[in-house]
Structure 1
Amino acid sequence: MVAVHLPAESGPAEFEYAGLRGNPVAREPLPGAHVSEFTSPRGEFGIGMAVAELDGMIDGKPHEPSLDVRRIIATLPAPRVCGEDPGCALLANLPHTQPRSTLELLRRIGIRSRAGTSRFEVEASLQAIRALLELGHEEMAEGMLDALRSSCVGDWRIAWFTGVAALVRGDHRRAYRQFDIVRVMLPDEPTPNLAMAVTAELLLLAAATRAEAADWRHAAIGHYRVTWRSNHEMISAAFGLARILTADGDVRAAVAVLDELPAGSPHRDTAGLTGCLLHIGGPVTELTETDLRIAAGRLANLSGARRYLPTRLILLWTTLVWLESGGRLRNPESSIFGTPNTETGLRRGIESGLRELARTTPDPDHRIRLVDLANQVRPRTWF
């Protein structure tokens, strides 16, 4: 464990330390294998933001794409238990994804909302703090953290959980500073960079000025990129980097990042569908036939994906709007998914897809809306 005194928090000068205002936002972890101070990722956050509307097309319910802080905290890798006390082995086996169960087990072995000074008590208290923060009880967790500070000087986990507590409270600037302290103390670890990246993204979303937004965008891209390059298990970093690159107008780079997901990842379909939507997500007047063809080609390889049908509908609809807005095809006789690239052909394809989607939706009211929409979009006939 690295023993250093945690720097006091102050004003704007800290943001130079935090990687803004001209200083590098992130450093590559040092080469060489090491035993991580954190657990493996306990899940992912933010991976479905670009495809949230697809779920709404399926079930008829609103799906607001947003970064959920509770989800972020629950899925970030957690600090490992330290110490040679035999009881610490028990703590290491506590359920990292079930905070209520963790607190109940700690209660049974005598750890409550206070902090002891023995190694076992310190480790147990840190586990209780983690669980409390994941349940949103930041005031109780911060009280336990304050009780530990004098006996845990130099323990990076105090800074880590202080950052998590700040994240829960919505004090993102303080969270960023605390995670940066951990990054400096543990330069080989990707997790502090991931925490800084998503915190910078939250600050970017709340930025009041263009200059501030540019700083936080630069920070988020840097930390997401370092995290993803150093550990391809950090799937949240890939999707986060793709989000920021897309918002920055670099769709090609965003799609390239998503294409780097390991072949065996359960999120490959989501990445593929996201890439498809990104290719056709700009203003329709700026789309080209190449954009539509690339999106169609990507989608053709995802026919088994759960969100395939609504994605196909969006692609057909976008192609129809593009044609009606003056788009011209090099080969009008060609088709997308067997649907002729004519207004009539595309309308028939959309109508068929809407009726198919209506048969699969669990919501009767949404089914009626989809059928009504299919009737509206179908080609006009004399009969």
Structure 2
Amino acid sequence: PPPPADVLRYLLRVLPALGHLHRMGLVYCDFKPDNVMVTASGVKLIDLGGARRLDDLVSGYLSTPGYRAPELDDDGERPGGVERTAPSVATDTFAVARTLARLVLGRFPGFVDAYRHVLPPRRAHFPLREFESLDRLLRRATATDPQRRFQSVTELADELVGVLYEIVARTEGPVPPLASRWFDATGHPTGEAGPAGPPAAWEVLPELRVDQDDPRAPALTAGPDEDPAALAARLAAIVPVTTEVHLALARARIRAGQLDEAARALDAAAAAAPREWRIDWYRGLAALVARRPGLATADFDRVYSQVPGELAPRLALATALADVATTAGSARERQAARERAAELFDVVGAIDPGVTSAAFGLARCRTDASGKIDAYQRVPRSSSAYTASRARMIGVLVARVPGTDSLAAGSVAAGSAALLRAAALLADPLLDLGERRRAELRRDILTAALALVPAGHPPPDGPRPPTLLGRAMVERELRFGLAETYREMARLTPDRASRVRLVDQANRARPRTLL
């Protein structure tokens, strides 16, 4: 089979022709690889002899086993409970997905019998194992229930583009960021706690956009000074109540901490629009706020299956799983959740490095120092999270240095290399650390270095020691540097008692001299 990225490119170039037929009131009926031609001038859909009008319920039509939707099959070939219907847009999107499956998986056994209407197990085929979004897209597009499939070629194409971005980013190299159809690009840069405490769940994850086609859309966003409770009260008075009003009310209730009222708003939305996946998004968000990450995981997993080309559901699912990894009952459950969260964070960060909270999430899931450092390195220099990522890297490098006097030569060399790398990071002119934080990191590096070097003076005939933060890596010089750093920290500390304590530490660190 050809590379999956090429298959998706071919289909994305021919789908506009199929969409044109649908807009003309026609259904193609027999979409399959034989009817798609790749030529020097482009990709073409051929053989329109089997097309028929969408409202024609009596004329005959052509379709091919293996690409034919289950509702078009004869009675003995349809799955139980599936009623026979006429060709429709949903049967065409089914055939497109089967064409995609055939091309990326090759001639897998059972295509027209055992797997006539379903896909083979994901584990049996490398493209499905490697690209989960591709697997989920195919399974939604080939759902037995036509109402669960993509309802238009445009909807299918939008998700195909997202899946293509993942495949290209992971197999061919970096790609420009892909604008989401559903979510704003904003989100917490690290997903970690700051001076004001941990961020709220809705701050960590991208924000769902309001459908601007809804007649009530202008009234559904908060004013500049409107708090969530006041917004919820205002939204509750809007009539008539559309799906967008239900969702906006649920969002405001969640932010106001009114989780029971939010659940009722979502139930009302589900009654009005039972196949609306955004309801599951807000249910997952409410579960995160309620500290029930297991429920959030199930909700976000359903969202991922509905919009497999979007990154936000994967980021949300990874965030919920990372919480499960800290709260699950057994060590095995916590480990499984951590590994799954790391997998999702890894994919999101690889596709769009601008989603920097994915890099920080991946680092939290890694237990080895190398894995953490590799994750933090993904944060681009242009990001507002760049300084935080490099400060975390310095912390990881310093922590790698063992605090013992009986070290093997290899351990000393590895520790010295880690500290030299940390010092190089600290010297980066792009780091916006502030004087106090920079001094604290300098202190940590010098303290770790003192644990590596032997006590006393180096032998005069020995190799010249490396320089760390402007000081030779020998005990005396490092102690002078550490004392100087403590005094700088004292100068930057407004509290008198803290200043006295830091000066005492500087005096203890300073080596003995004759003066």
- 1:102-134, Cα deviation, whole Å (9 max, x unpaired): 5535644x525xx97642xx3123122212212
**1:74, 1:134 within 8 Å by CA — same for their partners in 2?**
no
User: In 2, Cα distance between the equivalents of 1:125 and 1:238?
Assistant: 34
**Aligned residue for 1:104?**
230
- Tell me which amino acid in the other structure corresponds to 1:27: S
User: In 2, Cα distance between the equivalents of 1:325 and 1:72?
Assistant: 50
Give 3-state SS (helix, strand or coil) of 2:164's partner.
Answer: coil
Deviation (angstroms), 1:351? 0.9
Give 3-state SS (helix, strand or coil) of 1:183's partner.
Answer: helix
**Aligned residue for 2:138?**
none
Matching of residue 30 in structure 1 with residue 130 in structure 2: no
**Following superposition of structure 1 onto structure 2, how do residues 198-217 of structure 1 map, counting pairs within 5 Å?**
198-217=319-338
**Following superposition of structure 1 onto structure 2, how do residues 1-383 of structure 1 map, counting pairs within 5 Å?**
26-27=132-133, 29-31=162-164, 35-47=180-192, 68=198, 70-82=199-211, 84-91=213-220, 94=222, 100-101=226-227, 103-105=229-231, 107-108=233-234, 111-112=236-237, 118-119=241-242, 122-245=243-366, 247=367, 249=368, 251-282=369-400, 284=402, 286=411, 287-302=414-429, 305-306=433-434, 307-324=437-454, 331-381=463-513
More moved, 183-192 vs 229-238: 229-238
**Judging changes above 3 Å, is the alpha-carbon distance between structure 1 residues 237 and 99 closer, same or farther for their aligned structure 2 residues?**
farther
**2:232, 2:252 within 8 Å by CA — same for their partners in 1?**
no
Identity %: 26
User: In 2, Cα distance between the equivalents of 1:160 and 1:365?
Assistant: 50
**Judging changes above 3 Å, is the alpha-carbon distance between structure 1 residues 206 and 25 closer, same or farther for their aligned structure 2 residues?**
farther
Deviation (angstroms), 1:140? 2.0
**1:292, 1:315 within 8 Å by CA — same for their partners in 2?**
yes
**1:27, 1:226 within 8 Å by CA — same for their partners in 2?**
no
Give 3-state SS (helix, strand or coil) of 1:27's partner.
Answer: helix
- Tell me which amino acid in the other structure corresponds to 1:101: D
Deviation (angstroms), 1:371? 1.6
User: In 1, Cα distance between the equivalents of 2:131 and 2:349?
Assistant: 15
**Judging changes above 3 Å, is the alpha-carbon distance between structure 1 residues 135 and 75 closer, same or farther for their aligned structure 2 residues?**
farther
**2:416, 2:452 within 8 Å by CA — same for their partners in 1?**
no
- Tell me which amino acid in the other structure corresponds to 1:219: R
**Aligned residue for 1:7?**
none
**2:191, 2:357 within 8 Å by CA — same for their partners in 1?**
yes
Give 3-state SS (helix, strand or coil) of 2:272's partner.
Answer: coil
User: In 2, Cα distance between the equivalents of 1:262 and 1:220?
Assistant: 21
- Tell me which amino acid in the other structure corresponds to 1:259: Q
**What stretches of structure 1 move > 6 A for 4+ residues in a row?**
none
Deviation (angstroms), 1:99? 9.0
Deviation (angstroms), 1:305? 2.6
**1:25, 1:222 within 8 Å by CA — same for their partners in 2?**
no
TM-score scaled by length of structure 2: 0.59
**1:41, 1:233 within 8 Å by CA — same for their partners in 2?**
no
**1:26, 1:193 within 8 Å by CA — same for their partners in 2?**
no
Give 3-state SS (helix, strand or coil) of 2:354's partner.
Answer: coil
User: In 1, Cα distance between the equivalents of 2:239 and 2:314?
Assistant: 30
Deviation (angstroms), 1:318? 0.3
TM-score scaled by length of structure 1: 0.77
**Aligned residue for 2:115?**
none
Deviation (angstroms), 1:269? 1.5
User: In 2, Cα distance between the equivalents of 1:218 and 1:298?
Assistant: 29
Deviation (angstroms), 1:323? 2.1
Q: Structure 2: any 5+ residue segments left out of the alignment?
A: 1-89, 91-121, 123-128, 135-161, 166-177
User: In 2, Cα distance between the equivalents of 1:227 and 1:80?
Assistant: 20
Higher Cα Rg, which structure: 2
- Tell me which amino acid in the other structure corresponds to 1:293: L
User: In 1, Cα distance between the equivalents of 2:180 and 2:384?
Assistant: 26
User: In 2, Cα distance between the equivalents of 1:283 and 1:204?
Assistant: 27
User: Aligned residues, how many?
Assistant: 336
**Judging changes above 3 Å, is the alpha-carbon distance between structure 1 residues 142 and 282 closer, same or farther for their aligned structure 2 residues?**
same
Give 3-state SS (helix, strand or coil) of 2:502's partner.
Answer: helix
User: In 2, Cα distance between the equivalents of 1:234 and 1:348?
Assistant: 42
**Judging changes above 3 Å, is the alpha-carbon distance between structure 1 residues 291 and 34 closer, same or farther for their aligned structure 2 residues?**
closer
Give 3-state SS (helix, strand or coil) of 2:480's partner.
Answer: helix
| Pairwise CA RMSD | 3.3
More moved, 196-205 vs 365-374: 365-374
- 1:205-225, Cα deviation, whole Å (9 max, x unpaired): 223333212211211111101
**2:349, 2:378 within 8 Å by CA — same for their partners in 1?**
no
Deviation (angstroms), 1:198? 1.4
**Aligned residue for 2:80?**
none
User: In 2, Cα distance between the equivalents of 1:137 and 1:369?
Assistant: 46
Give 3-state SS (helix, strand or coil) of 2:420's partner.
Answer: helix
**Judging changes above 3 Å, is the alpha-carbon distance between structure 1 residues 102 and 186 closer, same or farther for their aligned structure 2 residues?**
same
